[in-house]
Structure 1
Amino acid sequence: MSKILMITGDFVEDYENMVPYQALMACGHTVDAVCPGKKAGDTVKTAIHDFEGDQTYTEKPGHNFALNATFADINADDYDALYIPGGRAPEYLRLNDAVIEMVRSFFVADKPVSSICHGPQLLAAAGVLEGKRVSAYPACEPEVKLAGGTYVTVEMDEAITDGKLVTGPAWPAHPALLSQFMALL
Structure 2
Amino acid sequence: MRDRKLLILAGDYVEDYEIMVPFQALSMLGFAVDAVCPGKRAGDYVLTAIHDFEGAQTYSEKPGHRFVLTADFDRVNAADYAGLVIPGGRAPEYLRLDPQVIALVRAFVDRPIAAICHGGQLLAAARIIEGRTVSAYPACRPDIELAGAIYADIAVDQAVTDGMLVTAPAWPAHPRWLAQFIAALGVRISL
Alpha-carbon distance, 1:114 to partner: 0.4
How many Å separate the matches in 2 of 1:49 and 1:119?
14
Q: Does the aligned pair in 2 maintain the 1:2–1:81 contact within 8 Å? A: no
Q: Which runs of 5+ in 2 are unaligned?
A: 186-191
How many Å separate the matches in 1 of 2:11 and 2:92?
8
The aligned residue for residue 147 of structure 2 is 147
The aligned residue for residue 160 of structure 2 is 160
Alpha-carbon distance, 1:2 to partner: 2.2
Alpha-carbon distance, 1:30 to partner: 1.1
Identity %: 63
Which 10-residue stretch deviates more, 32-41 or 2-11?
2-11
How large is the Cα RMSD of the aligned pairs? 0.6
Residue from 56, 59, 78 that aligns with 1:57: 59
How many Å separate the matches in 2 of 1:32 and 1:76?
11
Alpha-carbon distance, 1:111 to partner: 0.3
How many Å separate the matches in 2 of 1:2 and 1:122?
24
TM-score normalized by the length of structure 2: 0.95
How many Å separate the matches in 2 of 1:129 and 1:142?
13
How many Å separate the matches in 1 of 2:134 and 2:67?
27
Deviations 1:13-59 (A, max 9, x none): 00000000000000111110000000000000000000000000000
Alpha-carbon distance, 1:184 to partner: 1.2
How many Å separate the matches in 1 of 2:183 and 2:128?
21
Q: Which runs of 5+ in 1 are unaligned?
A: none
**What secondary structure sits across from 1:157 in the alignment?**
coil
Deviations 1:46-102 (A, max 9, x none): 000000000000000000000000000111111110000000000000000001001
Q: Does the aligned pair in 2 maintain the 1:5–1:34 contact within 8 Å? A: yes
**What secondary structure sits across from 2:157 in the alignment?**
coil
Residue 106 of structure 2 is aligned to residue 115 of structure 1 = no
Runs of 4 or more, structure 1, over 2 Å off, are none
Residue 178 of structure 2 is aligned to residue 178 of structure 1 = yes
